[in-house]
Amino acid sequence: MGAHSDLLERHHAVTPRWLGLLYEEPIELVSGAGRTVVDAEGREYLDFFAGILTTMTAYGLPEVVGAIQSQAERMLHTSTLYLIEPMVELAEQIASLSGIPNAKVFFTTSGTEANEAAMLLATTSRRSSQVLALRNSYHGRSFATMGVTGNRGWSASSLSPLQVSYVHGGYRFRSPFRDLDDDAYIAACVADLRDVIESTTSGDVACMIAEPIQGVGGFAIPPDGLFGAMQEVLDEYGILFVSDEVQTGWGRTGEHFWGYQAHGITPDAITFAKGLGNGLPIAGVVASAELMDCLQASSISTFGGNPLVSAGALANLRYLLDHDLQGNALRVGRHLLDRLQGAAEKLDCVGEVRGKGLMIGIELVAEDGMAPNPAAAAVVLERCRERGLLIGKGGLYGNCLRIAPPLSVTIAEADRAADALLESLGDVNREVRPAR
Ligand SMILES: Cc1ncc(COP(=O)(O)O)c(C=O)c1O
């Protein structure tokens, strides 16, 4: 038996059935440098999913590895009962980057916990357990965050501490408003928001939570300005806006540092995770001092912002800013999107190629140009892997390809990835019959 099949058998014996693996023959990635990773059987791949958008700068970056090593030699962990200099410095940087006036930062170990904390702040400050969320959203795997996740495939339970109403907006390709132009689409979503507030809530809603670009939902991108128009309605009711930047933060969208900035708003809270630690478990929430300090009881996160993860995250963030990786995301992302849009949209199995910066989604459809085709997505993933390229998938129906390399990716690497992707899409266009 090969290294992978042996490990797969052990994996199935001791881990939950619902912990999904990619590929018919799942792989283990054991080392990486730059944008390249190597599996346990010695095969090399260009990684264009980056541990779910989490290896933000690069694999094996000496600046980050060095910071982790030197912190590990001195002190791994102390808890937030003691002062932690790297955590304070990181909080200072994130507060000033956030765009939220007088901001404070609370660190957690996952995006789920970050959103959980944001829900706690909003519901406590507004004394209301009502929350608005978007259809096709994903915000985490705890009870509150599953409660605001508008995707049945990721909602294992209906139990929720929140009363949640879902609004339209994030996923235009399958929206009833899809044929409207941008302005009319925004107006229809705003009218729906008002209607949902008036008809399904008692008005005193705590907050609306939204991903500026829906990640798990298939890199679904609403028109710029949508959330600005929605926020005008939210303001009428005093409803707070929480921007879930777990996938869109740190310049990944190229045009902006945060996804919310495409909408002309300042959120009341921002949640972040994934990319900040380049793989170290660090996440958190930023909010104004007034909102952050509204809790009357004490709270703690034993691991949140500990010396090791904060030192690594600081080095990672410094590298990102010093090397203008946002600018690189814009430049390389545009190049890749142009190549993919030009070629892939001619294929019958492709319903749409969409993207901003280094977040590019490809919606695969059946022969009618609309029915979701998850079988095609699964085959493209396999074919890309055979050609030495790792990508992800997602979407409400599992029919969207997700392309999101580390932000340091080069034009040459983007071209290699585009070649592999287009060849794989070409195979599938010929072979795969409609899924339904
Ligand atoms: C937008 C968004 N929010 C929250 C989460 C939850 O983050 P975590 O898996 O770190 O708990 C995710 C994870 O994919 C996400 O994409």
Average pLDDT, the chain: 97
Q: 244 φ, ψ to 5°?
A: -85, 100
Residue nearest to atom 7 of ligand 1 (CA): 111
Ligand 1 mean position, distance from CA 426 (Å): 32
- 211 ligand 1 Cβ < 6 A: yes
Distance 256 CA to ligand 1 centre (A): 20
SS3 content of the chain, % helix, strand, coil (to 5): 40, 20, 40
CA 405 to CA 407: how far, in whole Å?
A: 6
What is the percentage of the chain residues whose pLDDT exceeds 70?
A: 99
- Within 13 A of 167's CA, how many CA atoms are on the CB side? 29
Cα 274 to averaged position of ligand 1 atoms, centre (Å): 7
Residue 405 Cα to ligand 1 middle (Å): 17
Residue 273 beta carbon below 6 angstroms from any ligand 1 atom: yes
Per residue in 409-425, pLDDT tens?
999 999 999 999 999 99
Q: Would you put residue 182 in left (φ > 0), alpha (ψ -120 to 50) or beta? A: alpha
Contacts of 396 (CB under 8 A, 6+ apart): 136, 151, 152, 153, 171, 174, 217, 218, 372
Indicate the pLDDT class of residue 433, thresholds 50, 70 and 90.
Answer: low
Kindly state if the Cβ of 116 falls inside 6 Å of ligand 1. no
pLDDT at 2: 87
Q: Is the CB of 140 under 6 A from ligand 1?
A: yes
Q: What is the mean pLDDT of residues 161-171?
A: 97
Q: What is the pLDDT of residue 176?
A: 97
Pocket test for ligand 1, best of 134, 137, 138 (most atoms within 8 A of CB): 138
Q: Strand 130-134 vs strand 207-210: parallel, antiparallel, or unpaired? A: parallel
Q: State residue 344's pLDDT score.
A: 82
Res. 436 pLDDT band, cuts 50 70 90 = very low
Q: Which of 19, 55, 56, 112 to mutate to test the pocket of ligand 1 (most atoms within 8 A of CB)?
A: 112
For residue 267, the number of C-alpha atoms closer than 13 Å in the C-beta half-sphere is 28
What confidence score (pLDDT) does residue 430 get?
A: 84
Rounded Cα distance between 188 and 182, Å, is 10
Nearest CA to ligand 1 atom 3: 139
User: What does the pLDDT read at residue 431?
Assistant: 78
**pLDDT of amino acid 41:** 97
For the chain, count helices (H), then strands (E). 13, 15
Q: Using 50, 70 and 90 to split pLDDT, how confident is the model at 345?
A: confident
Mean pLDDT of 329-339: 98
Ligand 1 pocket mutation, candidates 143, 209, 221, 246, criterion most atoms within 8 A of CB: 246
pTM above 0.95, yes or no: yes
Ligand 1 center from residue 390 Cα (angstroms):
20
What residue's CA is closest to ligand 1, atom 4?
A: 139
How far apart are alpha carbons 198 and 7 in whole angstroms? Answer: 53
pLDDT score, position 403: 98
The mean per-residue pLDDT over the stretch 212-222 comes to 98
Tell me the CA–centroid distance for residue 204 and ligand 1, in Å: 27
CA 404 – CA 336 distance, rounded (Å): 11
Q: Is the CB of 137 under 6 A from ligand 1?
A: no
Nearest CA to ligand 1 atom 1: 246
Query: Quick one: pLDDT at residue 434?
Result: 52
Q: What is the pLDDT of residue 220?
A: 98
Does the C-beta of 244 come closer than 6 Å to ligand 1? yes
Q: What angle do CA 194, 235, 223 make, to 5 degrees?
A: 65
